[in-house]
């Protein structure tokens, strides 16, 4: 592990931060907003709207909690119910990134291998060929195509044994969150072998009175059709999609009335090893290497690695994860981090519990209660003061700020204001009737602030019928108003505290 991110140094820095930030200050923080200290700001007016007025204007219902602190000293400047835990949504991914960087190090790479279980003579492998996943969350069809070309380059032209696929590097989970609709692509299966974010591309086009459909593993360069995921168009109105596990394949149906003239979307894959194995077998065939049908194995066979493919460095993976909020990346990285830490965790929830304990110890948190590493599960709870404590410590150790996405400030019409005096880098989090934002902000030549804002109407979310969970009535407007409130709070803090 890189010394810059060693656990010893991180914990030492955390201990100093606890003394500075003050556990008692968190524990005894007032439940309502502190009175801000208004001071001159270069001749500009220093008045700012009251917190209650901003929240009332948003017309959200539910709960609004926040905390903002000096990012250098950790001193709390303004809070509202800072110890009350709410669903943080994808803000959790920022914590997962800190967890991974501290434990794995920024240069860590995941490795996918092709393993030969027998000798290779005259281009013939007298044994099995194994596609062995190593927890790479960004492996795609292009990567498998390169591995197939590398297999040919090392001289293997024929495999006399079986073609085996192993994904046991990480625990398997059929879904990330079991409360989501079956068909949403952001809730796929989790395994130690993943391909294309464990999603399959479904495309349909009207063909006379019916439809032509394809299911493929496409990238910009390739689009191999797959048989492990199948779609049937059915004459009905609702439900739009149904899913069935059909003994080794994902069987889908779609309502004809919902299709129109044509379209496409990504669907989740529930059998990632079969998916990756089928796609690799097709790509190997294009190299003249004919493989038998893939067989999934639970135990890793012994043998010699003949092809190795490494992922990009962890820092690059996490930067993309935070930018695109990729749930599968967060879960796979979180599980891998827990394994490297030496803890035993056979499920997402068990691994999240390990991360909770780590965060409470290493980051000075007091009540982290997360059920996964991505924030997709709405049973997770996180307090704003805890998140701010983590941000202060992470900044002190250089673990997070450089990979957070810039958060654009907008005008009243929703247009980005590139010349805005407040600069923000943060992680957003959005579920229906849940909105979070946490990160860093500063004005020109001003001191940096760390902040966390969580907004949630939990009862309203809990009452969404399952059939409406993808786009429930009122959710879009609610989330838009929540984001406006978040920007208004940031602008308030920019006037009062960061100059």
Q: 476-486: per-residue pLDDT in tens? A: 999 999 999 99
Task: Identify the band that residue 296 occupies on the pLDDT scale cut at 50, 70 and 90.
Answer: very high
57: in domain: yes
378: in domain: yes
Distances (CA, A) of 193 to 131, 255, 360: 9, 31, 30
Residue in the structure block whose two tokens are 């830490």: 341
What pLDDT score does 392 carry?
A: 96
What pLDDT score does 308 carry?
A: 98
Percent of the chain with pLDDT over 70: 90
Kindly state whether residues 242 and 317 are assigned to the same domain.
no
Count other C-beta atoms under 10 Å from residue 420's C-beta.
Answer: 17
Cα–Cα dist 265/53, whole Å: 41
Minimum mean pLDDT range among 4-13, 59-68, 214-223: 4-13
Domain count, the chain: 3
56: in domain: yes
Count other C-beta atoms under 10 Å from residue 468's C-beta.
Answer: 12
Mean confidence (pLDDT) of the chain: 90
Q: Two tokens at 291?
A: 């493989």
Domain that holds residue 288: 111-171+274-310
Sheet holding 199-207, edge to edge: 210-216, 199-207, 262-268
Please state the rounded mean pLDDT for residues 249-277: 97
Please state the rounded mean pLDDT for residues 273-288: 98
Residues 6 or more apart whose CB falls under 8 angstroms from that of 154 comprise 306, 307
Name the nearest CA neighbour of 278 among 298, 296, 304. 296
Please state the rounded mean pLDDT for residues 288-295: 97
**Position 207 pLDDT exceeds 50:** yes
191: in domain: no
> What angle do the packed helices 348-362 and 92-104 form, to 10 degrees?
80
Q: 98-148: per-residue pLDDT in tens? A: 999 999 999 999 999 999 999 999 999 999 999 999 999 999 999 999 999
- DSSP string across 132-146: E----TT--HHHHHH
Phi then psi for 7, rounded to 5 degrees? -60, -35
**Position 18 pLDDT exceeds 60:** no
Q: 266-276: per-residue pLDDT in tens? A: 999 999 999 99
176: in domain: no
Q: Two tokens at 480?
A: 């838009």
Q: Two tokens at 424?
A: 């923000």
Task: Identify the band that residue 498 occupies on the pLDDT scale cut at 50, 70 and 90.
Answer: confident
Kindly state whether residues 259 and 279 are assigned to the same domain.
no
What pLDDT score does 446 carry?
A: 83
> Can you give the C-alpha Rg of the chain in angstroms?
25
Kindly state whether residues 385 and 339 are assigned to the same domain.
yes
Kindly state whether residues 280 and 264 are assigned to the same domain.
no
187: in domain: no
Kindly state whether residues 286 and 412 are assigned to the same domain.
no
What pLDDT score does 86 carry?
A: 98
Kindly state whether residues 466 and 352 are assigned to the same domain.
yes
What pLDDT score does 247 carry?
A: 81
Kindly state whether residues 31 and 73 are assigned to the same domain.
yes
DSSP state letter for 435:
E
**Position 300 pLDDT exceeds 70:** yes
Kindly state whether residues 98 and 13 are assigned to the same domain.
yes
> Which of these three, 268, 293, 321, is where a domain ends?
268
Kindly state whether residues 336 and 408 are assigned to the same domain.
yes
What pLDDT score does 45 carry?
A: 39
Cα–Cα dist 389/452, whole Å: 10
Percent of the chain with pLDDT over 90: 82
**Position 497 pLDDT exceeds 50:** yes
What pLDDT score does 470 carry?
A: 87
CATH code of 158's domain: 3.50.80.20
Q: Two tokens at 455?
A: 């907004």
Kindly state whether residues 13 and 156 are assigned to the same domain.
no
- Helix, coil or strand: residue 54: helix
pTM equals 0.90
Please state the rounded mean pLDDT for residues 289-313: 97
Q: Two tokens at 49?
A: 């709207």
What pLDDT score does 12 carry?
A: 39
> Which of these three, 211, 245, 268, is where a domain ends?
268
What pLDDT score does 322 carry?
A: 98
What pLDDT score does 16 carry?
A: 37
**Position 372 pLDDT exceeds 80:** yes
Kindly state whether residues 296 and 353 are assigned to the same domain.
no
CATH code of 329's domain: 3.40.710.10
Please state the rounded mean pLDDT for residues 426-446: 94
Please state the rounded mean pLDDT for residues 331-355: 97
**Position 237 pLDDT exceeds 60:** yes
What pLDDT score does 38 carry?
A: 38
Name the nearest CA neighbour of 172 among 311, 332, 321. 332
Please state the rounded mean pLDDT for residues 278-285: 98
Kindly state whether residues 283 and 348 are assigned to the same domain.
no
């Amino acid at each position: 592990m890189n010394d810059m991110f060693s656990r010893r140094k991180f914990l030492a820095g955390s201990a100093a931060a606890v003394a500075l930030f003050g556990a008692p200050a968190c524990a005894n923080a007032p439940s309502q907003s502190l009175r801000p200290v208004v001071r001159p700001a270069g001749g500009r007016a220093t008045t700012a709207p009251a917190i209650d007025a901003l929240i009332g204007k948003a017309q959200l219902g539910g709960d609004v909690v926040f905390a903002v602190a000096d990012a250098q000293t950790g001193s709390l400047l303004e809070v509202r119910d800072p110890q009350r835990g709410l669903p943080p949504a994808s803000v959790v991914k920022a914590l997962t990134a800190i967890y991974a960087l501290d434990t794995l190090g920024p240069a860590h790479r995941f490795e996918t291998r092709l393993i030969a279980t027998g000798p290779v003579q005259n281009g013939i492998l007298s044994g099995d060929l194994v596609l062995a996943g190593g927890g790479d969350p960004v492996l795609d069809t292009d990567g498998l195509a390169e591995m197939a070309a590398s297999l040919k380059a090392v001289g293997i032209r024929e495999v006399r044994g079986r073609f085996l696929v192993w994904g046991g590097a990480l625990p398997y989970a059929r879904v990330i969150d079991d409360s989501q609709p079956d068909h949403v692509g952001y809730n796929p299966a989790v395994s130690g072998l993943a391909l294309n974010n464990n999603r399959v591309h479904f495309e349909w086009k009207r063909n006379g009175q019916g439809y032509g459909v394809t299911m493929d593993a496409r990238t910009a360069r390739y689009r191999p059709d797959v048989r492990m995921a199948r779609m049937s168009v059915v004459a009905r109105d609702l439900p739009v999609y149904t899913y069935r596990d059909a003994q080794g394949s994902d069987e889908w149906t779609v309502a004809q009335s919902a299709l129109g003239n044509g379209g496409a979307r990504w669907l989740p894959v529930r059998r990632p090893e079969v998916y990756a194995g089928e796609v690799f077998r097709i790509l190997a065939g294009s190299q003249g290497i004919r493989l038998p049908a893939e067989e999934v194995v639970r135990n890793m066979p012994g043998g010699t690695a003949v092809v190795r493919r490494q992922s990009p460095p962890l820092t690059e993976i996490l930067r993309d994860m935070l930018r695109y909020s990729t749930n599968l990346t967060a879960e796979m990285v979180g599980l891998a981090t827990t394994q490297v830490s030496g803890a035993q965790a056979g499920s997402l929830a068990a691994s999240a519990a390990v991360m909770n304990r780590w965060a409470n110890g290493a980051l000075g948190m007091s009540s982290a209660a997360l059920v996964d590493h991505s924030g997709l599960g709405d049973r997770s709870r996180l307090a704003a003061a805890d998140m701010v404590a983590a941000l202060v410590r992470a900044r002190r150790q250089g673990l997070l700020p450089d990979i957070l996405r810039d958060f654009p400030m907008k005008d009243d019409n929703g247009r980005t204001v590139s010349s805005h005096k407040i600069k923000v880098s943060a992680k957003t989090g959005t579920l229906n009737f849940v909105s979070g934002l946490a990160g860093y902000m500063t004005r020109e030549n001003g001191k940096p602030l760390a902040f966390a804002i969580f907004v949630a109407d939990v009862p309203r979310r809990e009452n969404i019928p399952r059939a409406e969970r993808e786009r429930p009535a009122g959710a879009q407007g609610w989330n838009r108003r929540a984001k406006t409130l978040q920007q208004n709070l940031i602008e308030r803090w920019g006037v009062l505290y960061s100059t």
